[in-house]
Amino acid sequence: LRALDGITAVLIDMDGVLYRGNIPIKGAARAVEWLRKQGKKLIFLTNNSANSRSAYARKLKRMGIPVRKSEIVTSGYATALYLKKNYPGAKVYVVGEKGLRQELKEAGLRIVYPHCVEEATHVVVGLDRKLSYAKIAVALRALLQGADFIATNADATFPTEEGLSPGAGATIGALVGCSRRKPRVTVGKPSPTMVKIAMSLAEAEPKETAIIGDRLDTDIAVGRKLGLRTILVLSGISTSQDVKSVSGTGLVPNFVHENLERAVFG
Ligand SMILES: [Mg+2]
């Protein structure tokens, strides 16, 4: 348990740590169960804003990992909390998927539809697998009228069974390309916004918090920025070769393990 000695809260990235696509990673369920038995506070993270927390809770349950909705933080949920806290009256035009809209609504924010986009105070952008010219055009109009530009996350790609697929970066790129503006805030990792929200849910200080993830450029980068213990697992994107190549930079993790099971049981 060396990697988790003295740690009370564990932030666990989901994709590449608990599963790849719809395939569970061996030993992950057992590791999570053991962490619970040890009394660790657990928060499950994902930069993916396309699905709601409820959908992730169902997905994990199918994989034998029982998780409460309140233990899940998606970049969509974090964006909703960010807006609710800082702009409680926000009227939001969304370029994203159902799960993002659901989280924004649950937080009490108003969603603006295309026919009244001139009312939008914010354009919130995430992964959108039904991105269209029409949606881009509506969002552009809102941005040109001065709406605030918020991105749930900036992932260029995400892994699927068919290989890498375009992530939220594709949606952001389309809007940057026509509006000549950039997102003012990006909520997901490696930005600290989402991880700070996760830490406040766990009521944990940086020195007693660990982040476990499969990407040096997001999970480890944000963990290092916030002074958390950082644990890279090699069951997802980053490889041991990648670890060698970041030597001497701000991306070096405290621990590297083959997978979550090894990180937890040694
Ligand atoms: Mg991941």
Q: Would you write out the chain's pLDDT as a tens digit for each of its 266 residues?
A: 589 999 999 999 999 999 998 999 999 999 999 999 999 999 999 999 999 999 999 999 999 999 999 999 999 999 999 999 999 999 999 999 999 999 999 999 999 999 999 999 999 999 999 999 999 999 999 999 999 999 999 999 988 878 889 999 999 999 999 999 999 999 999 999 999 999 999 999 999 999 999 999 999 999 999 999 999 999 999 999 999 999 999 999 999 999 999 999 98
- Rounded to 10 degrees, the C-alpha dihedral 72/77/81/87 comes to 180
Single out the catalytic residue among 15, 128, 148, 214. 15
218 C-alpha to center of ligand 1: Å? Answer: 8
216 C-alpha to center of ligand 1: Å? Answer: 10
13 tagged catalytic:
yes
Dist. CA 187–CA 190, nearest whole Å: 8
**Which conformational region is residue 151 in: left (phi greater than 0), alpha (psi within -120 to 50 degrees), or beta?**
beta
**Which conformational region is residue 113 in: left (phi greater than 0), alpha (psi within -120 to 50 degrees), or beta?**
beta
CB 40 within 8 A of CB 203: no
Whats the size of the chain, residue-wise?
A: 266
148 tagged catalytic:
no
CB 99 within 8 A of CB 141: no
Q: What local confidence, expressed as pLDDT, does residue 159 receive?
A: 80
